[in-house]
Structure 1
């Protein structure tokens, strides 16, 4: 799966499942602020990644994730 497909899939479920406005999605956007993540949303995000990509994420995976670009990179690296 190439990076463009990964980004497209992530953006699609952010819009559909987290009701993020398309205009708010950019690589530089802060992940937590854009998604307004609370602990339940975090669980939903992990489940969404697992169901969309077959990738299991744990809390430690998010230590260095600040922006959506960091998140895209995390998923891309987990798929390798």
Structure 2
């Protein structure tokens, strides 16, 4: 599986570390109740199909939002997390 790092180009999946679904980036406020933080840390989705995930590229350190299918492992694209958040 190749993941297109916006900084390094297409790279083998073994250079990346998955960090979870992109919804993990929508963190509760610092003063949010403990239940909100518990849900963020422990109640993760596990979709079958196309999804957006956060991956970190170990070579350049970039954090990416990767658009891929969890069934076929096909990668449709990737962008820097900072660009994804600005566009959202």
Verify same fold: TM over 0.5: no
> Under TM normalisation by the shorter chain, which class is it?
under 0.3
Choose between structure 1 and 2 for higher RCO, CA contacts under 8 A separated by at least 6 residues: 1
Task: Return the structure number with greater helix share.
Answer: 1
Question: Which one has a larger percent strand, Structure 1 or Structure 2?
Answer: 2
TM-score (ref. length: structure 1): 0.25
* TM-score in terms of structure 2 length: 0.24
